[in-house]
A and B are shown apart, each in its own frame.
Chain A
Amino acid sequence: MIKFDEYIKNLNKRLESYFPESIAPNEEGIFKPLDIYNVPEREANEYKFKSIKYAFKHHYENNSFYKKFCKDSNVTPNDIKSIEDFKKIPLIPDKFFKTYPSGNEFAMWLATVYTGDLPDIVINKNDSHEKIINKFNKAGLVISYSSGTSGRHTFIPRDKRTFHDSEYAIAKSVITMVYPFWEYDMYGYVLMPNPLKTNVFAGKVCSVYFDAIKDIEVALDREITADLIQAAMQNNLKGRIIRYAMQRENKKMIERIIKWLREKNKNKDKISFVGAPFILYFVMEELAKNGEIMDFGENGAVVTGGGWKIYEDKRLPVEKFRKMVEEILGIPPENCLDLYGMVEGNGWMVHCPEGHYLHLPTTYYHARVLDENGEDVDYGEKGRFAFLDGLAMSYPGFIISGDEVRMYEKCPACERQTPVLEPEVKRAAGAEMRGCAEEMRRILSMDMSG
């Protein structure tokens, strides 16, 4: 079996282009340690403090709205002297990133949320959100979004460096967790929109998969725009036509994936799936209907993300999904992991194979679980997930999410050194439903085709 150090060095070689020319203090925690889940606590805290303090100072000095927010809370970077002081860093509710105005002011809103200076960007009077985003992106940014079921998007302005850091972080988190499974010469399937044809964050961030694995197929290989998402969720003629076309496309997509699986199974190839679980669920349902069983065994892995709704009224239990993967594809539960992350952050929590607990990154990311008063709850108690993200340099990544979690200091199932979240994350009371897989499910109208 390949040694772990060599394994990660191979990955770093593959992802060389994601490394910045010189690593900034906020990036050391992701780029320097080889095994991010086994950094000794003291060392991890040193990385983390350096990273988050650096990011906080940067936003305080270069972002007017966040500076005002800090002043209202009477906090300056000088007040942050230890990790204990992270509690003082003002947190932005995730809803804030949905409060953008319409029309041309949307461009100004993006510019204001963005930390630092922007290059010249020319905006026309009638530019749609998508056009405005594309203009920002042409100017060197990576504006991406995710959506609630209302179709009101969460827009996050990343610069290229933050986006690359995030891509590297997701790849390193997953590949470390599936050790020794990963190798470059294998086959992969993205169960998300083509990263090159969408600004949807969950799709876009998968572009690193193309650099980490030699041969990649994409389930949804068409352009997915904000306007298309909104239109697909509505019931006017345009929306119905889009959904009809999507339903037809879905059947072909399922057939394509099955064909691909048959071929890889026959050739005993090594495969992996990354993306929305409901697509694979429908693939497996189709295989089960035909009594078709495959035997990938240790040659297969599945990494899911984005939520577990398969129909409007039906949520798929994660364990049942793993069992299906094992029974139909022959992939063991240890190779079937879920990933938790969000468009607002660059920290990626991945299931451990032993107990399927979500392991938190600790070298550049500080997770908190809060009660209704915004105070930290004890380990093991339920509360709202919040985080301080040292990698976010183009927007203040100090955020209270709408998710309800339980955090444990140590993983009950494995020896890795990081705290964990319970395997499944749910939306907190009062939060809008969301999840990138749910968004995709609605666009694809999978209910109707299922």
Chain B
Amino acid sequence: MLREWKDKEYVPPKQLFQLFIRGGFALTKVLLKNLSNLKNVRAERISYTPPERMYDLPEYKEGMKYVKSDEKYLRPTLYCNPYGKEIIAMANHLGAFEKEPYEYARDAFEFVKRKIILQIIPLDGVVATLKRGYGTCLHKISLLIALCRVAGIKARYKLYALSVIQQWYDTFIGADPLMQEWYNALGYFMLHGEGEIYLDGKWFVADVGPTPERQAASSIPITRFGEDSIGIWTQAIPGSIMRVESLPLGLGIASKLLMEKISPGSVAKMNNNVLRQYKEGRKILQEMGEEEYDKMARKGYKMPTIELEAKNIIFE
């Protein structure tokens, strides 16, 4: 079993392990320093209604096509079982095995990015995410990875610690003094998950985390399939990027402990802020039109491309 865990990368890589340890230390310190605050925060009752699912689940029919494989990046991994009936049905509904792989992967990306709302909840499987219609960036990216794997397209996780733009800081961190102190102690936000999809011999980055509405509310471009969030709304902490086949063991328990036990009120505040942000962005997109908005967000911010030159540098 250990060998399988290692092979499937269930054991957290060194960077992630270090992140957990640092994050755990920082959180413990913050909690110990703020015991009375914590009591107040825990006693606080925050009204929160989860969003409704925005789509119908397609019906699963016997004989629907799917790829079952034990190959790396195609097989099931933690929280990412591509063989759930709902996943197979959705993959077929989105055009798996009918469209070109690139086209299908892009459409699956758009579906998850647009239809699954970001909400902070403990980690669970992809079928639950699909049925529910919301989840964290890790839920969302797992769902996209499952939709790709079930269609025979290799997919993996790209995880990293990050710092975010001011509006997202305000949404997630500014909502709660404990979160602020934790972030301050670390200097970054613990973990973000993107995906990478293997097409025509190349890995395409796919960040389904932010919906277009939230990006519009933050005045940033609407990121597309193949476009990285790093440099747009986030900066990866140097040295923290990990590319792995699976989410690691321990993340589920940690997320449950953190989100349900320690300070559920803080989580509710964050979720309410995300929903508020979503509404604000929806209004912007309705008024401007998505294409026009995106054109505007990208105009004036063209980045030069750079081809590295050695000039007179001598490498030893």
Chain A interface (Cβ < 8 Å from any Cβ of B): 64-66, 68-69, 72-73, 90-93, 95-96, 98-99, 101-102, 104-105, 107-109, 111-114, 117-125, 148-152, 230, 233-236, 312-313, 370-375, 384, 400, 427-433, 442, 447
Complex contact A429–B166 (CB within 8 A)? yes
19 A-B residue pairs with Cβ-Cβ distance under 8 Å, sorted by A, are: A73-B302, A96-B303, A111-B312, A121-B313, A122-B313, A122-B316, A123-B313, A123-B315, A125-B316, A149-B163, A150-B188, A371-B300, A372-B296, A373-B299, A373-B300, A374-B300, A429-B219, A430-B219, A431-B165
- State in angstroms the CA–CA spacing of A108 and B306 once bound together: 11
- Contact in complex: B314, A123 (CB < 8 Å): yes
Q: Considering the complex, give the chain A residue whose CB is closest to the CB of B235.
A: A150
Q: Could you tell me if B235 and A148 are in contact, using CB atoms closer than 8 angstroms?
A: yes
B99 to chain A, nearest CB (A): 33
Q: Are B163 and A104 in contact (CB under 8 A)?
A: no
Residue-by-residue, is B1-34 near A (CB-CB < 8 Å gives 1, otherwise 0)? 0000000000000000010011101100100000
Which residues of B does A touch, CB under 8 Å? 18, 21-23, 25-26, 29, 162-163, 165-167, 169, 177, 180-181, 184-188, 218-220, 231, 233, 235, 237-239, 296-297, 299-316
Interchain CB contact under 8 A, B301 and A400: yes
What separation, in Å, do the CA atoms of A276 and B177 have in the docked complex?
A: 25
Mostly, the A contact residues are loop
A-B pairs, top 8 by smallest CB distance, nearest first, are: A374-B300, A150-B163, A233-B187, A69-B304, A429-B219, A108-B308, A111-B311, A235-B26
Residues of A within 8 A of B296 (CB): 372-373
Residue with the highest number of chain A CB atoms closer than 10 Å, among B181, B231, B306, B310: B306
Write the chain A residue with the least CB distance to B33: A448
- Could you say which residues of chain A place their CB within 8 Å of the CB of B163? 148-152, 432
Q: Which chain A residue shows the least CB distance to B184?
A: A312
Do B303 and A93 touch across chains, with their CB atoms under 8 A apart?
Answer: yes
Smallest CB gap from B221: residue in A = A430
A431 engages B310 (CB within 8 Å): no
B187 touching A149, Cβ below 8 Å: yes
Determine if A442 and B187 form an interchain contact, defined as CB atoms under 8 angstroms apart.
yes
Closest partner residue, chain B, to A240 (CB atom): B25
Using CB atoms, name the residue of chain A closest to B182. A235
* A118 to B314 Cα, complex, angstroms: 11
- A113 (CB) vs chain B CBs: closest residue: B306
Chain B contacts of A105 at CB under 8 A? Answer: 308
Select one of A98, A102, A117, A234 contacting B187, CB under 8 A: A234
